[in-house]
Structure 1
Amino acid sequence: MSTSSTFRTVPPTAEVVIIGGGVMGAGIAFHLAEAGVNDIVVVERGDLGSGSSGKPIGGVRAHFSDPLNIELGSRSLRAYQDFPHRPGADIRLDTVGYLFLLTSAQQAAEFEISVAIQNSLDVPSRMVSPAEARRLCPYVSTEGLVAAVHSPTDGHARPGLVVRGYADSAARAGVTFATHTAVTGIDTIADRVTAVHTDQGVISCSTVICAAGAWAGQIGDMAGIDLPVRPVRRQLAFTEPLSPPAPRIPFTIDFSSSAYFHNSDDGLLFGLADPNQEDGFDTTWTPEWLELFRDVVRHRAPALADMETVGGWAGLYEVTPDHNALIGRSGELANFLYATGFSGHGFLQAPAVGEIVRDLYLDRTPFVDISPLSADRFRTGAEIRPEAHVV
């Protein structure tokens, strides 16, 4: 990306070092710089957005079962709608809505509860009939469908454009982006981080913010902080251009299987979470997983099963034990902040999290109480109810 710079030696000192140059790191840098924080260095082992942020699922939504996640999603949706003005970039936001397809009475009952919570927080989601689901998405077969949920203000955008928009604005405000720079160690004295070691030099610093995504556990280990994040490969594919063109459809998810699809350029994007995928950092794309997707959509959206694909991506989810994020300030190291472990929700929550981390750094009260997302919750047994739908 245009803002990235490669350093033979990184700056010797910084007020803030942000580890990770994805949507989270770039968004945090933007929010800090906008608030007047000077001397920020973002350290990224590859190119900006080369981790999970570079893989274009791009869903943005406020449809969650937990009020805290709903508020993070809603706040971020508003920021994405305003992105052409602040920070000032076209992110190809398409407000097509989300459509969850439900195939059991239990799913329908659980989603009715979630919809009531969402409506109480001004999210205009609603239960719809199988027939209306098919009207919203003509590919859908109503056979075996019990109900669906439509959330019209949700949609999808392009993660790479968001990273670039945040990073360009932050760079104009003086933020340094040290790309192709790997963190190799972290120095601490008593209850404070004092320096970040990289393969391009050492940076003495006053604050470290870990936004390293799937690699956050390794960064935590360097500082003696437990950030329970595991990497899990997720894959998607793109169809060839369709003729006639695909109708404009919601981001559609078969809830039971996690299979999903939405418009992408002149075709469709397909995805599905392989339940047998082992943990690891391997991001090799293996087209064989597509058979899992095709097996599902033969019943749920038959026309998709025979569409030709022209390539795809593999990226990493950064998964925590309860599939909820880790956001907070370390209890052991007072100047170590973290925002990671989003379990597939990082892109859609990034603007809100940028605000929150800015406020934590400035000792201001964030717009929502994020204490339930402390990494310490797993030691105290205070896990949050897991979010089941992680697309």
Structure 2
Amino acid sequence: MDTFDHVIVGGGIMGASIAYHLMQKGARSVLLLERNELASAASCQAAGLVLQASTKPSKTPLAKLTIDTLLHLEEELAESVGYHMVGSLRIAASEKCAIELDAMAKDAASRNIPIEWPDLSDIRQMVPWLDISNIQKTAFLPSDGYIDPYLLTISYANAARARGAVIRTRTNVCGVVKDAEKVVGVLTDHGPIACGTVIDACGVWAALFAEKVGYSLPMAPVRSHYWIIQPDRTYGGEHPVTILPDVAAYTRPEVGGLVLGVQEANSVTFNARNLPEDLSGFSPTLGEEHWDILANAYEDLSQFFPAIENAHFSSYICGLSSYTPDGEILLGPVPGISGFYVAAGDCGSGITLSAGIGDAIADLALEQTPQFNMEPFRPDRFGPVDPHGDHFRELCAAARASKSRQIISHS
């Protein structure tokens, strides 16, 4: 029977990052198991934003570590990981968002994250298509940017493999073996594997996997989506990611065009028990309803992006993210079950937080003290929950909808 010190279940960006950080910190043997292919679910559908400051200061140091790790990965692999360090322009057009922006800027500065305060002339040069007439305050974080999430996942995996990690795809984990309340192995469709720790990095299925050890993980799958606008000289070229919290939207460059993300006022959730094991043929959106969502946002978006009236949309990408009721991630040991750890509930920030998550879980699995405050991320902070129930899923949907939303008035 195969034996490993650490078994990671889930080959998305979190699982790959954890494998890399475990090996980086000196783990003796690490096995990453994925039932499909690496980065074949939520990781490959993400918009790929890497943003270091948010309304959740607890996440900032994890995001900062991701930026630092991208540079180390490129040196280690001797190849690009595809990071576009174009910066992010955080725009406030209301007093509420201006106050939030000040708090984010203070948090970023306290952690030595570069931040600038561009004037209107600077903003026009940075993003020529942006209508600045409603703007009250703007901050620019030059080290933010965007990345291909599939390429980053593969980069973590390649770096982990180069350090000695074993990665097996097309391997389904169907059970966790315990001795009393201690994890001692996993059962797969290719046979049993003995191990000392099991790390649940199963993405939108993480709650289902946690049920194998009798724990109800407080998270729910929630729809996330974005549109791709065809190339146009009006808004083509590299420019900063723009974050527009007043209209719950963002943009980033996309090969001469734009990626446009819009948050829903009422986010759609799913019962994880009803999800297929392979999301490649699954769509969280029915028919053409996404055009209605975009049409409802047009008036708000046009206040900042007047050219949207003539924009041609080439693609619509929808996927699933895992949300918790408070918008904080789930990171750490499951109480009462020694050796079982969770890295889940990324709340739409899995790419941004990937290195921080990997670093923290690696420390815990190696019985070291993480460099981050882990209290906000405790998996047991909500007490007993039914993660598949309608009420709990509504709480997660509300967290998604309020991630950064305040519609400005049309006066």
Shared fold per TM-score greater than 0.5 = yes
**Residue range with higher mean Cα deviation, 28-37 or 277-286:** 277-286
Question: Contact (CA 8 Å) 2:11, 2:37: kept in 1 or not?
Answer: yes
Whole-angstrom distance in 2 between the partners of 1:71 and 1:54 = 24
The percentage of aligned residue pairs carrying the same residue is 27
Tell me how far 1:21 sits from its aligned partner.
0.4
Whole-angstrom distance in 1 between the partners of 2:201 and 2:116 = 34
In 2 relative to 1, CA 120–92 (structure 1 residues): closer, same or farther, beyond 3 Å?
Answer: same
Question: Contact (CA 8 Å) 1:103, 1:144: kept in 2 or not?
Answer: yes
1:297 to 295, 298, 301: 301
Question: Contact (CA 8 Å) 1:43, 1:178: kept in 2 or not?
Answer: yes
In 2 relative to 1, CA 306–196 (structure 1 residues): closer, same or farther, beyond 3 Å?
Answer: farther
**Residue range with higher mean Cα deviation, 282-291 or 232-241:** 282-291
Tell me how far 1:127 sits from its aligned partner.
4.6
In 2 relative to 1, CA 225–279 (structure 1 residues): closer, same or farther, beyond 3 Å?
Answer: same
Structural mapping, 1:280-359, within 5 Å: 280=270, 281=275, 283-284=283-284, 286=288, 287-288=290-291, 289-359=293-363
The answer for unaligned runs of 5 or more in structure 2 is 276-281, 385-398, 406-411
Q: Secondary structure at the match of 2:206?
A: helix
In 2 relative to 1, CA 127–335 (structure 1 residues): closer, same or farther, beyond 3 Å?
Answer: same
Match of 1:225 in 2: 215
Whole-angstrom distance in 2 between the partners of 1:263 and 1:351 = 23
Match of 1:366 in 2: 370
Tell me how far 1:90 sits from its aligned partner.
1.3
Encode CA deviations 1:324-357: one digit per residue, 9 max, x unaligned: 1111122211101111111011111111221221
Match of 2:172 in 1: 182
Match of 1:15 in 2: 5
**Residue range with higher mean Cα deviation, 170-179 or 108-117:** 170-179
Q: Secondary structure at the match of 1:300?
A: coil
Tell me how far 1:244 sits from its aligned partner.
6.6
**Residue range with higher mean Cα deviation, 135-144 or 316-325:** 135-144
Tell me how far 1:177 sits from its aligned partner.
2.1
User: 2:228 matched to 1:238?
Assistant: yes
Amino acid across the alignment from 1:20: G
In 2 relative to 1, CA 245–137 (structure 1 residues): closer, same or farther, beyond 3 Å?
Answer: closer
Q: Secondary structure at the match of 1:378?
A: coil
Tell me how far 1:71 sits from its aligned partner.
1.0
The answer for unaligned runs of 5 or more in structure 1 is 1-10, 381-385
Whole-angstrom distance in 1 between the partners of 2:353 and 2:129 = 29
Question: Contact (CA 8 Å) 2:245, 2:404: kept in 1 or not?
Answer: no
Tell me how far 1:192 sits from its aligned partner.
1.1
Match of 2:148 in 1: 158
Whole-angstrom distance in 2 between the partners of 1:104 and 1:244 = 26
Whole-angstrom distance in 2 between the partners of 1:292 and 1:45 = 38
Question: Contact (CA 8 Å) 2:46, 2:319: kept in 1 or not?
Answer: no
Whole-angstrom distance in 2 between the partners of 1:88 and 1:377 = 41
RMSD between superposed Cα atoms in Å: 2.5
Whole-angstrom distance in 2 between the partners of 1:235 and 1:67 = 24
Match of 1:7 in 2: none
In 2 relative to 1, CA 305–92 (structure 1 residues): closer, same or farther, beyond 3 Å?
Answer: farther
Q: TM-score, normalised by structure 1?
A: 0.88
Tell me how far 1:38 sits from its aligned partner.
3.4
Question: Contact (CA 8 Å) 2:225, 2:316: kept in 1 or not?
Answer: yes
**Residue range with higher mean Cα deviation, 250-259 or 179-188:** 179-188
Amino acid across the alignment from 1:114: M
Structural mapping, 1:1-391, within 5 Å: 12-128=2-118, 132-243=122-233, 246-280=236-270, 281=275, 283-284=283-284, 286=288, 287-288=290-291, 289-379=293-383, 389=403
Count of residues paired in the alignment: 377
Whole-angstrom distance in 1 between the partners of 2:78 and 2:345 = 27
Whole-angstrom distance in 2 between the partners of 1:44 and 1:274 = 31
Q: Secondary structure at the match of 1:197?
A: strand
Question: Contact (CA 8 Å) 2:149, 2:351: kept in 1 or not?
Answer: yes
Which has a greater percent of helix?
2
Encode CA deviations 1:161-190: one digit per residue, 9 max, x unaligned: 111111122223332322233332223232
Whole-angstrom distance in 1 between the partners of 2:283 and 2:352 = 21
Question: Contact (CA 8 Å) 2:241, 2:250: kept in 1 or not?
Answer: yes
Amino acid across the alignment from 1:218: L
Amino acid across the alignment from 1:174: G
Q: Secondary structure at the match of 1:85?
A: helix
Whole-angstrom distance in 2 between the partners of 1:87 and 1:22 = 19
Whole-angstrom distance in 2 between the partners of 1:178 and 1:98 = 37
Question: Contact (CA 8 Å) 2:237, 2:257: kept in 1 or not?
Answer: no
Tell me how far 1:108 sits from its aligned partner.
0.8
Q: TM-score, normalised by structure 2?
A: 0.84
Q: Secondary structure at the match of 1:117?
A: helix
In 2 relative to 1, CA 66–241 (structure 1 residues): closer, same or farther, beyond 3 Å?
Answer: closer
Tell me how far 1:304 sits from its aligned partner.
2.8
**Residue range with higher mean Cα deviation, 153-162 or 133-142:** 133-142
Amino acid across the alignment from 2:266: N
